Structure 1
Amino acid sequence: MASETRIGLIGAGYIATWHADALKATPNVRIAAVCDVNETAAKGFAGRYGAQVFTSVDDLIASGSCDAVHILTPPHLHRALAIKCLEGGLDVLVEKPVAESAAETREIEAAATKAGKRFCAGHNFLGLPSYQKMKKDMRAGAYGRVSGCDISWALPLAPLRSGPYNLWLLREPKNLLLELGPHLFAFAHDLFGPVEVQHAEAEWPVALPGEDMRPQGFRILARAGLVQITFTLAMVETTDNRSVTLRGSSARARLDYAQDVLVVERENTSDLVANPLRRQLDLSRQHLWQGIGNAAVQTASLNTKNPYGRSFLGMNAALYAAGPGAAHAKPYAGETAVEVMQAIDDAIALLPEKVLRAAAPAVQTRKPKPSVMVIGGTGFIGRALTRRIVADGRDVRVLSRSRSGPFPDLPDQVETVSASLHDLEALTAAMQGIEVVFNLAKALENTWEDCLINDVGVATRIAEACQMADVKRLIYTGTIASYDMSNPGQTITEETGFAEDLTDRNLYARSKAECEKQLMKLHRERGLPVTIARPGIVVGPGGPLQHWGIGRWHGAGAVRIWGHGRNILPFVLNEDIADGLVRMMDAPVEGQSFNLIGEPMLSARNYFDAIETALGARIRVNSGNLYAFYASDAVKYALKKYALRRSGVIRPSLADWKSRAHYSPFSNEKPKQVLGWKPETDRAVFVEKAIANANLFGF
């Protein structure tokens, strides 16, 4: 029996969950450690797997707790971390892109060779069962002589149009290709060997803040031996097409690697009418059995083996199934990673210089003197708010996870500082000289315990820092989702209040309500100068097409709206939200709350009709039966709690589901009377700003 491999995860972000769940299901593997500079994140993540917690890679190496590590940090940190771990005697797997260039990848490979340790690349899609079958059949000659291959990644990338803009992949135009290219080039290299890039072009440029242009698509032509290869990347709002298509002399094989579906189209020997009929019947049969097979896998695993998860399982099986030091599969080897990254570098080198040029930040002529702080200033509302405050003549300090933000054109008016929301001392220091603090932060957690730590705890800590720094006004953004909006006969005002018991509500609604409760308690007991704003469904330039306040989306082309979709929704323009928030800065409204809801304009169905009229895009809209949603959720709740034995699982009530349809109308009289707020009243102007000029599709 193979001995156990102890794995450490460096980085506790989104991708770490996929690695950890797959590792947990891999024989002869144990997650031994989690390392992240954010100790709270590391502890929360490690607790799920019984792992040790570290905030320093040096400490993790020195502990001797691991045989190998998965490096899951932002890519610009990969090279240094990988080399440090290799020199520390650990095998490493590095998430793609393994580095920022082929040269850096070679340095990692050289360090691995010198240390006698393994360096592997996280090309997870190569582990899909359907891909393994495609490769095996191709090499067995089942498709004849393969002359062409089309490899596509067509999936919307919302941050290009709606942020956050401080992500690594948006720092430079080439980062988009570095981020997504490894998936495509790894397929080509694994199937055909080294890739020779012949042509590269970029499409659909979009402006980030500061008129910093980024391409939303790439088309690359290449060759591997006698095989012509076309790589296509599309990041606008498009139907999901992540596929590998092989064109052979005997058959055409198409792998949908997002769905783990492989379909092969072959010639047959029938004549006339029977020939195309047999071809289509064969394709129908394959699609049917692929669908049944995948549904069976999902049902048997209780949706724990979706295609993305199965790709990680396949990768881990190739690397660890035989225990420590096992011979790893070539697709993941460091030498392969070097060749994949070199091909991507070659493609980048063929792009026009203007495509690769990032706009230089505006020259700073004076140091900002901020009197206003915006926490969450890199988000949709936060960006509009920050720019509005600057337009009104005040400088702003934006609190962000990094020291870069979406305001490169405002260096004289906006400064970005980094401080942990869990560090009271750092927050207090960051608020020195600040008169007004806007807290737009939110945490979308999976358990109530995490909500109490990362949402309620953060909100109260920010409030405490405000008092310690002598801030004159704290403006907190709650949510209308905390209301019971299930009754069409009830008009909601600021006097309506929330239910005393919110344990049967979704975690976001409950958590934001608890934040408000604790802040108002601090106002009464300690004089916290707080005002609360609750935005409606916020729309406008920079907002997403796939807005989940309207319905449950299934890609860019289909949505199940909450309920029948005929009731008027509480839409509001982002610029009107910014105006309402700014008006709260100086008005005598301490201890009050305001529902920032636009004038009654559109139902969900009206909204999608307006999209079709203004943009010529018909989206498939179906009513969402809320009773069916509730019943389906009840089944999922039972499976998660009793079959998967997950702790902290909640089951929202029927009223909670009905509230998502926003059946109860709102009154916006209070902010109009008390603040002098004037949301847009002209429907045509509203549609123009919310839809026609909002760049919803990216092009």
Structure 2
Amino acid sequence: MPHPIRVGLIGAGYIASWHGDALKATPDAQVTAVCDLSEPAAEGLAMAYGAVPFTSVEALITSGACDAVHILTPPHLHAGLAQQCLKAGLHVLVEKPVAVSLGETRAIAETAEAAGKRFHPGHNFLGLPSYVRMKEALQAGTYGRVSQAEITWALPLAPLRSGPFSLWLLRAPKNLLLELGPHPFAFAVDLFGPLDILHAEATKPIALPGDDMRPQGFRILARAGGVEITFHLSMVETVDDRSVTLRGSSGRARLDYAADTLVVDRENASDLIVNPLRRQLDQSWQHLREGLRNAVIQTASLNQKGPYAQSFRGMMAAIYGPLANNQPQDSRFSAESALTVMEALEAAIAKLPSEALEVKAPAVATRKPKPTAMVIGGTGFIGRALTRRLVAEGQDVRVLSRGRNGPFPDLPDRVETAPVSLHDLDALTDAMQGIDTVYNLARALETTWAGALVNDVGVSTRIAMACEAAGVKRLVYTGTIASYDMSDPHVQITEETRFPEDMTGRNLYARSKAECERQLMNLHAERGLPVTIARPGIVVGHGGPLQHWGIGRWHGAGAVRIWGPGQNILPFVLIDDVADGLLRMGADPAAIGQSFNLVGEPMLTARSYFDAIEDTLGARIRVSSGNLSVFYAADAVKYGLKKYALRKKGLVRPSLADWQSRAHFSPFVNDRPKAVLGWQPEADRGRFIARAITEANLFGF
């Protein structure tokens, strides 16, 4: 077998770059292939690692480009792909959860054994340096006789409250446990052996669209090797607590696996007065040591070795070192470990009350929808509200989505979901047949201008071309107020305010949206494209996130550094008012060729917004002012390090004006949508706060 091991990544989503970067840092492995159904996604990720892109697993296997693959697709595809690759003679690493059942996991393991290949579960936190230290100390008896363990995963899961609701983990209540449970269960199995599940309960249910309930927490009691284990899984807005606590006769150890720190609380033999002082000083020195160690590591690596990255690097080293050197498989990442973890997960699911596992059946369709409106990006925050508003006004809607599962199970008579690629002009044109109005709410979060030109600007103009070919009567495009220069508090912004002539120093989102608008308005002027531009402000309300990055930089649910001092009025607008404005723009002939800033009445500053959260919900969020010059300076330093030290390409040079615009210093005038469209955003401050905060379920409970 060649050395290093040649690895292919199957699936080019978010997690793939973590695998790719870790493999790049592993001497015994290298990324040689990337496979994804989306050709642009496959090509983009392959380019980052000098690999060959593929759009089918069959083509990847036939090419002989790799010796092993990482399965990084949605979990319901894991078992089939893993077995296909194992039978083809490839080793596999499968992201967690490795499968959706014990039966599927066993089938992967049996296929690997029959093929003589290795099957590794992607339990990456077991590769974290601080966890390795904890396990070694446990085995050495440092903590004495361990009687209890608490393993916690408390991290907000925003999709439960604000979507997208089409994700695999939201399709059934048990999927949430299958998604979040593998890491905590893998710790317990690796430390203590197979788990005997004693009790399981689901907590803090929340309704998805269509009143389909999902738990936002799990509490599970188990026993292993004489140790009583409590698992806490929480997905509401909470302080990040991802930890393993071991209580032994000689010490209490707490591993913070999100921060890669390990601190041990021990007794000492001093007298009653000195004893508590020594104990606290010992804790203080350990915290200082762990913090300094991590600071040195991340500084020396230019932030390439954060805790999460370290966990992947540790896993890759433990997998590919033995594989390249023909050594036995590391038990942490073995088929046996995968089976034991999945067996415990299934046992926990079996202990849950039946009502906690129920999936509400979608409403039965009584007729086929006859859509006259199309919403592209209809599964997002604004898209969902717009789609439901269109239905309330008597229209049937076709929603374009990546998949067939949309957030409208209660509207089968009125809403249909069409999985159409935004890069396929013919398919877009076909999907628009019979459609009068197209609302384009799509957005691409790119990291390079070249990517934005292809996946944002190119997509928006392709949609416009399809509208022309299909004879659509109105195209409503959503830009963003972020494209304006909002750095001067003395300049009022109206629709007549021009974007900066030079946008190269602006963030990619603002620059890309501005270029989309320019292209579409050129098509209107030159070919009569019936387009209208909407620019929503900071959109708040039910279905929106607590951690809204239009207001500031969040550090978990409990702390935010607002952009600037936070004393200026922000351009907030309610989600229902945005949906109403878009509806009016699609219906009023006077809107063609015009743009409208959908910004609510001036009411709240950033600070008064958080004061209102405290007053109405009783939750005090730690709010700090953000010095925009310091933000800019830090961004400039990062830019220099990435460009000259890490040799990264396609970076956007930061600008002070861009950072100042984030504070929304310039006030907005919303006269045009009110005069032309008859738009009336909420004007009562008390009612605005009620709808934006009290009724918005910001914390999930």
TM-score range, shorter chain: over 0.9
Cα offset for 1:586? 1.7
- What CA distance in whole angstroms lies between the structure 1 residues aligned with 2:603 and 2:195? 54
Cα offset for 1:427? 1.0
Secondary structure at the residue paired with 1:281? Answer: helix
Secondary structure at the residue paired with 1:26? Answer: coil
Correspondence 1:446-461 to 2 at 5 A: 446-461=447-462
> Is contact 2:69-2:92 (8 Å) kept?
yes
Cα deviation code 1:188-225 (max 9, x no counterpart)? 00000101100000100000000000000000000002
> Is contact 2:372-2:435 (8 Å) kept?
yes
Cα deviation code 1:304-346 (max 9, x no counterpart)? 1100000000000001124535432111111210110010000
> Is contact 2:494-2:668 (8 Å) kept?
yes
- What CA distance in whole angstroms lies between the structure 2 residues aligned with 1:240 and 1:17? 23
> Is contact 2:123-2:183 (8 Å) kept?
yes
**Residue equivalent to 2:283:** 283
Correspondence 1:363-378 to 2 at 5 A: 363-378=364-379
* 1:514 has 2:510 as partner: no
**Residue equivalent to 2:505:** 504
**Residue equivalent to 1:408:** 409
**Residue equivalent to 1:65:** 65
- What CA distance in whole angstroms lies between the structure 1 residues aligned with 2:640 and 2:70? 33
> Is contact 1:154-1:238 (8 Å) kept?
yes
* 1:148 has 2:148 as partner: yes
Label 1:88 to 1:495 Cα distance change in 2 as closer, same or farther (>3 A): same
**Residue equivalent to 1:7:** 7
**Residue equivalent to 2:679:** 677
TM score, norm. by length of structure 2? 0.99
**Residue equivalent to 1:658:** 660
- What CA distance in whole angstroms lies between the structure 2 residues aligned with 1:136 and 1:454? 48
Letter of the 1:449 counterpart: A
- What CA distance in whole angstroms lies between the structure 1 residues aligned with 2:177 and 2:323? 34
**Residue equivalent to 1:51:** 51
Correspondence 1:385-534 to 2 at 5 A: 385-534=386-535
**Residue equivalent to 1:115:** 115
* 1:211 has 2:211 as partner: yes
Letter of the 1:236 counterpart: V
* 1:571 has 2:572 as partner: yes
Aligned mate of 1:686, from 681, 685, 688: 688
> Is contact 1:28-1:322 (8 Å) kept?
no
Cα deviation code 1:655-677 (max 9, x no counterpart)? 11010000000000000000000
> Is contact 1:4-1:323 (8 Å) kept?
no
**Residue equivalent to 2:177:** 177
- What CA distance in whole angstroms lies between the structure 1 residues aligned with 2:323 and 2:413? 57
- What CA distance in whole angstroms lies between the structure 1 residues aligned with 2:449 and 2:654? 13
Unaligned runs of 5+ in 1: none
Cα offset for 1:523? 1.1
Comparing 213-222 and 318-327, the one that deviates more: 318-327
- What CA distance in whole angstroms lies between the structure 2 residues aligned with 1:32 and 1:650? 28
**Residue equivalent to 1:133:** 133
**Residue equivalent to 2:553:** 552
Label 1:600 to 1:683 Cα distance change in 2 as closer, same or farther (>3 A): same
**Residue equivalent to 1:647:** 649
TM score, norm. by length of structure 1? 0.99
- What CA distance in whole angstroms lies between the structure 1 residues aligned with 2:15 and 2:699? 26
Comparing 643-652 and 485-494, the one that deviates more: 643-652
- What CA distance in whole angstroms lies between the structure 1 residues aligned with 2:569 and 2:687? 17
> Is contact 2:639-2:654 (8 Å) kept?
no
Report the number of matched residues.
699
**Residue equivalent to 2:246:** 246
**Residue equivalent to 1:307:** 307
* 1:621 has 2:623 as partner: yes
Cα deviation code 1:568-618 (max 9, x no counterpart)? 000000000000000011212211100000000100000000000000000
Cα deviation code 1:545-587 (max 9, x no counterpart)? 0000000000000000000000000000000000000001121
Comparing 619-628 and 324-333, the one that deviates more: 324-333
Secondary structure at the residue paired with 2:231? Answer: strand
Secondary structure at the residue paired with 1:610? Answer: helix
- What CA distance in whole angstroms lies between the structure 2 residues aligned with 1:266 and 1:322? 36
Secondary structure at the residue paired with 1:275? Answer: helix
> Is contact 1:28-1:320 (8 Å) kept?
yes
Cα offset for 1:650? 1.4
> Is contact 2:375-2:399 (8 Å) kept?
yes
- What CA distance in whole angstroms lies between the structure 2 residues aligned with 1:432 and 1:69? 42
* 1:124 has 2:124 as partner: yes
> Is contact 2:36-2:55 (8 Å) kept?
yes
- What CA distance in whole angstroms lies between the structure 2 residues aligned with 1:44 and 1:698? 36
Secondary structure at the residue paired with 2:611? Answer: helix
- What CA distance in whole angstroms lies between the structure 1 residues aligned with 2:339 and 2:461? 48
* 1:562 has 2:560 as partner: no
- What CA distance in whole angstroms lies between the structure 1 residues aligned with 2:556 and 2:439? 33
Cα offset for 1:651? 2.2
Correspondence 1:91-102 to 2 at 5 A: 91-102=91-102
- What CA distance in whole angstroms lies between the structure 1 residues aligned with 2:575 and 2:149? 44
- What CA distance in whole angstroms lies between the structure 2 residues aligned with 1:468 and 1:196? 62
Comparing 669-678 and 522-531, the one that deviates more: 522-531
Aligned mate of 1:596, from 571, 595, 598: 598
**Residue equivalent to 1:262:** 262
Cα offset for 1:2? 8.1
Once superposed, which parts of structure 1, at least 4 consecutive aligned residues long, lie more than 4 Å away?
Answer: none
